């Protein structure tokens, strides 16, 4: 997916305003990957025999998926870019990914899908932090 994200960023007709294109592409990709992984993890949790014990995990997955999806979409729109909105959204995404990663990590030894999800959340959390640092 990075190829497509980078290719689209390369076609943008205006200057990116000093935004690090590699970190932006990596963050967009991480957001969409995390959204998909969290959606799949919530669905897998719903299929577990002990679903009642996974209620918080399911909710956290769904929240994280929505926030990551929205962040990826907003980061993909560069026209009339608002740094304050972008920073706030990246901070929210980083926070949601940390919460979801922490929750899934609690179930990772018993449920492989939670381990995979925790890893995706950690990657997205880091990508958000890297882009935030690059924005200054």
Residue 5 counted as domain residue: no
Q: Report the pLDDT value the prediction gives residue 81, as an integer from 0 to 100.
A: 77
Give the CATH number for residue 82: 1.20.1270.360
| CB burial string 38-49: b at 16+ within 10 A, e below | bbbbbebbeebe
Can you give the residue range of the structural domain that contains 30?
Answer: 19-135
pLDDT tens digits, the chain, 136 residues: what are they?
Answer: 557 888 888 777 677 677 888 999 999 999 999 999 999 999 999 999 999 999 999 999 999 999 999 999 999 987 777 889 999 999 999 999 999 999 999 999 999 999 999 999 999 999 999 999 998 7
9 is a domain residue: no
Kindly write down the DSSP assignment for every residue of 9-44, as one continuous string.
Answer: HHH-SS--TT--HHHHHHHHHHHHHHHHHHHHHHHH
105 located within any domain: yes
Q: How far apart are CA 25 and CA 44, in angstroms?
A: 29
Q: What pTM was estimated for this model as a whole? A: 0.93
- Residue 101 covered by a domain: yes
Domain count, the chain: 1
Taken in order 115, 118, 65, 135, is the CA torsion positive or negative?
A: negative
Residue 12 within a domain: no
Coil, helix or strand at residue 108? coil
């Amino acid at each position: 997916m990075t190829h497509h994200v980078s290719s689209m960023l390369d076609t943008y007709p205006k200057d990116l305003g000093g935004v690090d294109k590699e970190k932006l592409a990596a963050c967009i990709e991480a957001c969409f990957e995390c959204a998909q992984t969290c959606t799949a993890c919530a669905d897998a949790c719903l299929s577990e025999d002990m679903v009642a014990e996974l209620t918080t995990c399911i909710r956290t997955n769904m929240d994280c998926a929505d926030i990551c999806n929205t962040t990826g979409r907003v980061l993909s729109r560069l026209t009339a870019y608002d740094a304050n909105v972008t920073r706030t959204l990246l901070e929210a995404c980083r926070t949601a990914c940390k919460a979801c990663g922490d929750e899934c990590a609690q179930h990772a030894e018993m449920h492989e899908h939670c381990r995979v999800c925790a890893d995706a959340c950690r990657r997205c959390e880091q990508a958000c932090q890297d882009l935030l640092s690059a924005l200054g």
